[in-house]
Structures are given as structure tokens and as C-alpha cells.
Homo-oligomer: A and B are copies of this chain.
Amino acid sequence: MPRYVPANSLESPRFTGVRTFMRLPFAQTTADVDFAVVGLPFDTGATWRVGTRFGPEAIRSMSAMLRPYHFAHDVNLFDHLSGVDYGDAAVVPGFIEHSYEKIEAFLQPLHEAGVTPVALGGDHSIVLAELRAAARKHGPLGLAQFDAHGDVWDQYFGHKYTHGTPIRRAMEEGLLDGSRVIQVGMRGPLYEPHDIQQARDFGFEVILADDARALGTAQVVEHIRRKVGGGAAFLSFDIDFFDPAYAPGTGTPEVGGFSGADGQQLLRGLTGINFVAFDVVEVLPAYDGPGQITALLGANMAWEMIALLAWRRKPHPRPLSSG
């Protein structure tokens, strides 16, 4: 029986209590823990709208709606997993390199202890620190990135670290295995065609939004599974993957994105991949409207990630795509 499970919503209503992710215990421990939800509320990397420092709060707030049983995978997440809300890294607003150190140091013990982090951003610049922490343990990683933007720019005003550059930095630092990286959902006006080409030159597979729509979700899933393969991998989900109608609360929304159901189907297809870390980034509550649908969608994506962990532990798993 897992040690850390959500508060029982049939004993206390979901709207009661301090807001932890999915009503999990708040505990900064790695003992008897399979996964840890962590907040990385850093937003100094943003180049347009800013304020994702309140993203973890908003996702936690809406995550109270999440229940434990996943119908599509036929699994109760907490039959197999023990999880905590591990709190937030003490980032330093205004100072990206200092914050990277803080984030990496915060995540390192989780990886050492074999606890899978499920990080809530924060802007996408944080992924560099996340990858540093993960790669130190696991070596160069595969990556499945859902995003409207490739984030492979070289610099911005002469500075190397922003939310548009972390993937390139990760390649330069040897944190990623380019042959096992896939980016899905790129779209929108670009500064130059080079933005996409650069990623391909790194060996990435890039599936543009229009191409993903033409392929359909089942085919996109196959591409991801094939590209990422069997090694240790990272799953990074930028909420701007979704269309602004589904995720208005984000820093750089792009027209022509995906639906919430698309996101669900894509993540549900990724059973069995050896993800050693996850994140959901760029939820920006100040632009989300009273319904906070972006935060709800972010919470659901994190829940799908945890469900992938549960699926791996349940008896006799068979890949969904071959079912």
C-alpha cells in the first residue's frame, strides 16, 4: 500500500485544505516516494508576457479536481504509486543562472533517490536546469517536447539564457541525445526558417502543427515512440502546444494549436517509454480568465504523466498502441 496518497475527497470536500497538487501530502522527503510534484516558479526568462511564477499555484488549485482512477489505462494511480507535493525550488527572480543552480540542487536528490519529478513551471527556460539534474544521473536523454516553439534560439540580446534558448543550450551541454529528440506542434510566425532547420540539424525530428494535424494523433504517437526509443527520456509539455482557445493563460500563445483531447490522446499513447522526468510549463494564470481552464488543462497533463508511471507498474502492461 503506497505511503503517500491524496486526501480522500469523500471524507473532506475537494475545496478544503491547503492547496497541494491533487491533495497529496506536502512532504520534502524521498523515502517511500515514487514521484514528487515540484513547483519551479521562475519566469525571468520570458520575452513577452510574464507571470508564470504563479503557474504552480494555479495548477495546484485546479488539481483538486483530479480523481485517482484513469479509465483509459484502467488503473488507479495510487494502487501503484506513492507521491508527494515536494514544494517549490527557491528560485531567485531576476537572476536566471542563480536560479538554475537552485533548481538543479533542488531536483538532484530526487533523481538520486529514484523519485520521478513532475515539475510545474515557470517559463520554459527552467527545462535547462531540469535536464542538467536528470542527465547527471541518467546521461544524455531522449526528449519528447510538446510546444508551439522549438526553443532552440542561440541568444536574445546577447544573453544565452531565456525561454527561447534552453534546448540549444542543452545540446551544447551534452544533456540531450539529439537522435532521440522529437518536437511536436511548432507553428506561428517565425523570425526566419532557420528556427526549424536548426533543430533538424541537431538530429531532432520536428513535426509542425499542420503536419501533426494531417498525420493524426495515432500516427504522431508512433513517431514519438520510434524516435524516443527505449532509453531514459524527458517529457516536456509547454502549455502553448494547445490552441489559445484551450489555453489562453500562457505567455506566447500561437493560433492554430491543438485541443485538450489531442493532448490527452498523445500522452496516453506514450505508455512504456522510460521517462525519468516530466514537466508542464508556461501556465500563466493572470491571462487565464475566471474559469482558469489553462491551469485545469495543465493539471490534467501532469495527471496523464503520473498515469504513465502508474501504467508501467501495473501488472501485465501491454502498449496501448498495439492493443
Contact = CB atoms under 8 A, between A and B. Distances in A.
A45 interface: yes
Q: Which of A10, A87, A162, A291 has the most CB of B within 10 A?
A: A291
B286 A288 contact: no
Given A191-B68, A290-B248, A16 B39 contact: yes
Nearest to A264: B256
A269 interface: no
A142 interface: no
A41 interface: yes
Interface in A75-97: 76, 85, 87-96
Contact of A296 (B14, B17, B253): B253
Given A16-B90, A90-B12, A243-B246, A67 B189 contact: yes
A293 interface: yes
A1 interface: no
A19 B57 contact: yes
Given A53-B15, A72-B210, A245-B260, A65 B89 contact: no
Interface in A211-230: 213
Q: How many copies does the complex hold?
A: 6
B253 A157 contact: no
Nearest to A95: B159
A242 to B, nearest CB: 9
A98 interface: yes
Q: Which of A156, A252, A255, A296 has the most CB of B within 10 A?
A: A255
Contacts of A14: 47-48
A291 B289 contact: yes
Given A69-B192, A291-B253, A11 B95 contact: no
B290 A290 contact: yes
Given A48-B65, A256-B264, 11 more contacts: A13-B92, A13-B93, A16-B89, A57-B61, A69-B189, A243-B245, A245-B260, A253-B296, A255-B300, A257-B261, A288-B291
Interface of A: 9-20, 26, 39, 41, 43-51, 53-54, 57, 60-61, 64-72, 74, 76, 85, 87-96, 98, 156-159, 161-162, 187-193, 195-196, 208-210, 213, 243-246, 248-249, 252-253, 255-257, 259-261, 263-265, 286-293, 296-297, 300, 303
